[in-house]
Amino acid sequence: MSLLFYVSNCNFPLYTYGSVLDILRKTIPHTTESRRPTYNQKLQSMLFQNLVGSRTVFHRLYLKQYGYSGSRRVTMSVFLHHGSASRALCLCALLCFASLAQTQEPPALMLASEYRQQIALDDYWISEKLDGVRAYWDGTRLVSRSGNTIHAPTWFTRNFPRLALDGELWIARLRFDEISGIARRAIPQDEDWREVKFMLFDLPQHGGSFDQRLAELQRIVAAEQIPWLQTVPQFRIDSHDALMLELERVTADGGEGLMLHRGSSLYHNLRNADLLKLKTHDDAEATVIAHQGGQGRLTGMMGSVLVEMDSGIRFRIGTGFSDAQRRDPPPIGSRITYQYSGFTARGVPRFARFLRIREDP
């Protein structure tokens, strides 16, 4: 008899009680409903009964959480063996899990707009846009942009300065999936975090201009001398043509793009020209609302997903998926990132292509 459970909290749609039961009935044989409990009127949970059989059962349970704005996924993967003691432990795990699922207030991070050629480049610092996980150090703990705790090993943050830091958890170019998985684990693995760097680009509570914040940030990092605590290199470019050449160089080497930060700007939570992003293609996020079955070679798999933009416009995405992703497509209600090239007259993204499921820590 043994029980090992792993918990991760990510953005995801709120599932109804009925859909939770449907998932359980499909994934756990002979599971029945006992009663409908709540935990502090915030987390809806399930009691387990009649878990029979001698083999190990693996299941994923999607739970509904009340009392918070926005979407949220709560996922528990439980491995358990047959026996009444295991069922009792499973229930205890669920109740303990409820206390872990508390949402913190998201940090008020600075947001980027799209680059436009008309800006005065002399006013901006340029840096590479890292394909990592946005992270905020509040002086005592590391959190995601959604406000969820990122469970880094104690040694990773032990000597961090006791002031707010804004940056990106990053390993290297083209390794986003790895750092995303590492940052979402509730139980950190030292060997994974040995490769992770916290790449800093701002001091949210400094109060000065970005020119001043950058100088102070570089001074702090140099004084701390922590190998995995680094500043993102910032440099100047004086023309649009030179900026495009730098973008070409970065993306040819596997980089995602460039960021432009106005030197005179204060730190704020508005999306304007103080912080800009520049990439070779546009990308955006949308919510999956339906799956369309495939045909021909894709028979029996997902052919495309119907998604909805924040504006309410709906369209289908059928490219960019691997066969493994078609067999296990992005769940309905999940947020995905896609790339595209401009818009049609109706405002629909042109040549939309799936990139990844957005799963914040």
Residues tagged active-site: 129
DSSP three-state, residue 239: coil
Q: What is the dihedral of CA 314, 319, 324, 329, to 10 degrees?
A: 0
Tokens of 294: 């495939």
The CB-based long-range contact list for 122-125 (8 Å cut-off, 24+ gap) reads: 122/236, 122/238, 123/262, 123/263, 123/264, 124/236, 124/237, 124/260, 124/261, 124/262, 124/263, 124/276, 125/210, 125/214, 125/234, 125/235, 125/236, 125/260, 125/261, 125/263
Residue reference for tokens 């949220």: 72
Tokens 């499909």 locate to: 26
> What residues does 128 pair with on adjacent strands?
258
Query: Cβ distance 131 to 293 under 8 Å?
Result: no
**270 CB-contact burial (10 Å; exposed 0-12 / middle 13-18 / buried 19+):** exposed
Planar angle of CA 125, 127, 129, nearest 5 degrees: 135
CB-based burial of residue 105 (10 Å sphere; 0-12 exposed, 13-18 middle, 19+ buried)? exposed
- What's the rounded Cα separation, in Å, for the pair 360 and 139? 21
Q: Across-strand partners of 126?
A: 235, 260
Are 321 and 301 contacting, i.e. CB atoms less than 8 angstroms apart? no
Q: Please state the φ and ψ torsions of residue 98, each to the nearest 5 degrees.
A: -60, -40
* Cβ-based neighbour number of residue 281 at 10 Å: 12
Sign of CA dihedral 282, 287, 290, 291: positive
Of 169, 91, 134, 139, residue with least CA distance to 275: 134
